[in-house]
Structure 1
Amino acid sequence: MGMKLLRLSKELVIYLFIAIVIALVVDWYRSKDMPTESAPPFAATLMNGEQVDVIAQSYESPVIVYFWATWCAACKFVSPTVDWISQYYPVVAVSGSSGPNERVSHFLAQKGYGFANINDLGGDLFRKWGISVTPTIAIIKDGQVETITTGITTPPGLLVRTWLNQ
């Protein structure tokens, strides 16, 4: 029984390692067209009418920029994490291809999300940032893109990325 458990543990570690490597390669591939050093200028109007300047804000504390869509299946898992972390760190979300402001506002209210959001109706911010996959999360600190990740992320994963970039 002990040998069987040891063999199973070794196989589990190997599979976990392979999964992590594959996830990192896929993440690298998806983010290769995105900014990697200086963040592009990012001043816009939030859906509530307030002006936001992510670059200026990033000199005070790390800013989490969350590119998402109302129709995105993976975003259904990531958005609650982003909403939770918005209580502790500044978050600027950018919804793309999600319809008019009223539809996005209704979606946010229905889900109870409180993060600041820009509805990128024309896809300008998505194009400027080279975003082709939702969800995508970037952490901006001192005007620099510290980290970019695509796909599903967990609360501990996002929190650790944010802590490491303080």
Structure 2
Amino acid sequence: MKTKALRWARELSLYLLLAIVITTAVDIYRSQNVPMDNTPELVGYDQNGEMVDVVAISYESPVVVYFWATWCSVCRFVSPTVDWVSQYYPVVAVSGASGSTARVDAFKAAKGYQYTNINDEESLLFRQWGITVTPTIFIVKDGTIQSVTTGITTPPGLLARLWLNQ
């Protein structure tokens, strides 16, 4: 019985390691167009008409910059995590090609999302930031991109990125 449990633990560890390697490789591949050395400006008006400046906020605390879309199927799984994290860290979300601000606001209200959002109807910010996949999440600290990930992100994964960039 003990050897069976040990074998099971080894196999599980191997699968976890393999999953980490694969997801890291996919993140690196998908973020090739991201300007890591030169953080693009991200200044805009949120859903309440208030000016948001990611770089300025990032000097106080790490900022989660979340590029998403209402039509993105993977975002359905990631948005609740981002919303939860927004209770503890600054989050600036950018919704791309998702329709009018009223439509995006209605979508967020229906889901109960509270994070700050800039609606990028024409996807200009998406292009400026090199976004080719949604969702994409950046951690910006002291005006510099510290971390980037694409696709599904778990709460522990996002918290780890934030914790590492305190």
Q: TM-score range by the shorter chain?
A: over 0.9
The superposition leaves residues 76-123 of structure 1 with CA deviations (integer Å, 9 ceiling, x where unpaired) of 111111111111111100001211111111100001111110111111
State the alpha-carbon separation in 2 of the partners of residues 8 and 84 from structure 1: 33
Structure 2 residue identity aligned to 1:15: Y
- Do residues 41 (structure 1) and 41 (structure 2) align? yes
Structure 2 residue identity aligned to 1:76: R
2:129 corresponds in structure 1 to 129
In structure 2, runs of 5+ residues without a counterpart are none
Alignment of 1:108-119 (within 5 A): 108-119=108-119
State the alpha-carbon separation in 2 of the partners of residues 3 and 155 from structure 1: 33
Alignment of 1:99-110 (within 5 A): 99-110=99-110
Q: CA deviation at 1:4?
A: 2.6
2:79 corresponds in structure 1 to 79
In structure 1, runs of 5+ residues without a counterpart are none
- Do residues 155 (structure 1) and 142 (structure 2) align? no
| Percent of residue pairs identical | 63
The alignment covers a number of residue pairs equal to 166
Structure 1 residue identity aligned to 2:153: T
TM-score by length of 2: 0.95
Q: CA deviation at 1:27?
A: 0.6
SS at 1:52's partner residue?
A: strand
For the aligned residue pairs, the C-alpha RMSD in angstroms reads 1.1
TM-score by length of 1: 0.95
1:22 corresponds in structure 2 to 22
State the alpha-carbon separation in 2 of the partners of residues 146 and 6 from structure 1: 38
